[in-house]
Amino acid sequence: MNSFSAILQDLVERVPGATGAIFADWEGEAVGEFAREMATLDIRIFGAQWGVVWAELQRSLGRAKLPAANELIIGGEIGMVLVREVTEHYYVVLAIAPDAHLAKAMTELQAGADALRAEM
């Protein structure tokens, strides 16, 4: 386990209802990941797919002459996904259960992004 994965494990463990987290680069390539009940390949695919959404969101905002997003939250019936910028070229994704405390998840995701940035 690398230091980035250790930070992600700590993040997931601090958020009740979190199922996994991944730290990836601008191409969707995993730098580190941690998931409770998900195979490594599955969490990597999950992170890459959300990276596509994140990149398209940033491009769309740019075309509209709007400032870049620093966080994206998507809620659904079976869970929520939070994406947060770590640097201009890196992002972190956190998956949580639908009944998880969103404010706690957002606070811990920010702390995790800060820790990842400091480790770079």
Question: Using one digit for the tens of pLDDT, what is the confidence trace for 10-52?
Answer: 999 999 999 999 999 999 999 999 999 888 899 999 999 999 9
* Measured distance CA(7)–CA(78) in Å, rounded: 25
* SS3 call for 77: coil
28 neighbors 48 (Cβ within 8 angstroms): yes
pLDDT at 37: 82
Q: Report the candidate in 25, 33, 7 with the shortest Cα–Cα distance to residue 108.
A: 7
pLDDT beyond 80 at 74: yes
98 neighbors 34 (Cβ within 8 angstroms): no
